[in-house]
Amino acid sequence: MSHKSLNPAVPGRPKRVAIVLSNPGISTTTGWPVGFWWAELAHPYFTFTYEAATNLHSKFVEFYQAGKLCAALCHGVALLRYARLPDGTPLVAGKTVTGFANVEEDFADQAVWDMGALTKDKHVMPWRIEDELKKLGANYIQAGLWKGFAVRDGNLVTGQQNFSGGETADLIVETLGR
């Protein structure tokens, strides 16, 4: 371990990393089987099952308020729709964030429609991260269709989608120090 810049996010506190992965066995939106495989750590495929995961909401907020570096990538950013500070304020209010973009949701929907996997009255995801985070007062930004991109606002790091794993990791390493 390097002793250079032990924790530039919160000097004086040792570095710790908690990695949380959460997926259902079957997508509640499409009915397709999903699951977890190790590659998801870098390229996650999350479905929107976070609403009921109140313990995950509170743990993420607890880490955030303690000054710990908190990161979400791709559809994992959906968690931020539900993360509330103790006073009820959305954690993302006033924060610059990214996540799976509307242009990428449009692309995914068109792909499954073209394959005939879903009818055009159905979408792969029941709601869109970009729209919902903006409604909560976040400054949502993105780099365009399938472009690797991540952003840090204080101790919150978010990555746009699965091609953003490297950029997200770079921000985490840069913040924590090597």
Rg (CA), the chain: 17
pTM for the whole thing? 0.76
Q: Is the pLDDT of residue 3 over 60?
A: no
Distance, CA of 130 to CA of 24 (rounded, Å): 22
Distance, CA of 149 to CA of 170 (rounded, Å): 11
Residues ≥6 apart with Cβ < 8 Å to 74: 43, 44, 45, 46, 99, 100, 159, 160, 161, 162, 164
pLDDT digits (tens, 9 = 90+) for 47-63: 456 788 888 899 999 99
Sign of the torsion angle spanned by Cα atoms 85, 176, 154, 144: negative
pLDDT digits (tens, 9 = 90+) for 112-144: 899 898 899 988 888 999 999 999 999 999 999
Residues ≥6 apart with Cβ < 8 Å to 33: 25, 26, 27
The predicted pLDDT at position 53 comes to 82
Q: What residues are paired with 70 via a beta bridge?
A: 156
Which of the 8 DSSP states describes residue 157? E
Residues ≥6 apart with Cβ < 8 Å to 84: 57, 61, 90, 91
The predicted pLDDT at position 46 comes to 43
Domains of the chain with CATH codes: 38-176 (3.40.50.880)
Most confident region among 16-20, 48-52, 157-161 by mean pLDDT? 157-161
Residue of 96, 89, 60, 62 whose CA lies nearest to 76: 60
Q: Is the pLDDT of residue 43 over 50?
A: no
